Structures are given as C-alpha cells and as structure tokens.
Amino acid sequence: MKDETPNSNKYMRYMGAGTQMLVTIAGGVFLGNWLDKTFHTTTPWYSISCSLIFICAAIYLLIRSLPKE
C-alpha cells in the first residue's frame, strides 16, 4: 500500500502540469480570438501571436515545475 502513494503522487503532478498547459494555451487562444473580434482585424494576428506567446509560457512553466534532480 505504501508503494502506491509515491507513484500516484507522480501521476497527479504530471496530470496537474498537463492541465496547467491546457488551460494556459486555451486562455491564449481565447484571448487572441477575442482581440481579433474586438478590433475587427482581417487577418488573425492577435490569435497567432497570443497563441504562440501562451504556448511559450506554458512550456516555461512546465520546465520550471520539473524536479531538479
């Protein structure tokens, strides 16, 4: 029973990291779409730039959350 606790803790940590990445990237996509609709742009520059910025932020947060072994 004691062996299951550390393994499930690792899985929960990685599930949390994946969820954090999903929410961060989705937030960037929705923000970019909202900016494109608000400013009535003909090309989706806000969607592209916000998506890329938030993808980089999600990867940065993932790397920072990894253990430093």
Name the strand (E) or helix (H) holding 28: helix 4-39
pLDDT digits (tens, 9 = 90+) for 34-60: 999 999 999 999 999 999 999 999 999
Question: Amino acid letter at 69?
Answer: E
- Chain centroid to CA 6: how far? 25
For residue 13, give both structure tokens.
């940590």
Round to whole Å and give the CA distance between 14 and 21: 10
Tell whether pTM > 0.85.
Answer: no
Which is nearest to 32 in space by CA: 43, 17, 21? 43
pLDDT digits (tens, 9 = 90+) for 2-26: 555 667 787 887 888 899 999 999 9
Q: Render the burial of 49-59: b for 16+ CB within 10 Å, e for the rest.
A: ebbeebeeebe
